[in-house]
Amino acid sequence: MDRRLLACSLVLILGACAPREPAAPSLDGALASVAFVHGGAGPWAVLGYRMGLFALKELELPRQSFDLLVVHHTPHEVQYSCMADGATAATGASVGKLNLELVEATTSGVETTYLNRATGKSITLRPRASFVARFGDVPREKLAAVGKEVLLLPDEALFEEVRTRGGS
């Protein structure tokens, strides 16, 4: 085999095998991921999904990382707890892997903390008051359409970072 042909073949093979940043899921793929975990893709589960994606990016962690710990503060009420399933769909964290925890909270205390255990860096996110007001009482028959709407909204319209007293 010609050395140039061999060299080109190796470049092509190695290039194809090189690690790549995973492609962002399509709209339908994202909704399907949420529905696979949660059973549907309503606005609150999609909110949890969006928050999880945002946190992974901020913490520089891949999906399914065992370095990730997710702690979701929620009342024992369906729409708020749906966020945890969205977080699972986005991050791969789960109760069974012991990297997803639910903590009882009031509706005013709903928030999710994402921690990179390897670096100690964390971020806490909560639904914006405007999100709660807009999507708090969506009729069951409209959940899928509204979930799609939530997937398309900008992060700033959905959630905000909770700043600690130290400002970190």
Q: At residue 2, does pLDDT exceed 60?
A: no
DSSP 8-class letter at 137: T
- Summarised one tens digit per residue, pLDDT across range 136-157 is 999 999 999 999 999 999 999 9
Q: Give the per-residue pLDDT at 25.
A: 66
Q: In the chain, what are the domain boundaries? A: 25-154
Q: Give the per-residue pLDDT at 111.
A: 98
CB 91 within 8 A of CB 56: yes
Tokens standing for residue 18: 């090189």
- Summarised one tens digit per residue, pLDDT across range 84-130 is 999 999 999 999 999 999 999 999 999 999 999 999 999 999 999 99
Closest CA to 41 of 74, 78, 96, 82: 82
Rounded Cα distance, 108 and 127, in Å: 10
CATH level 2 (architecture), domain 25-154:
2-Layer Sandwich (3.30)
Q: At residue 6, does pLDDT exceed 70?
A: no
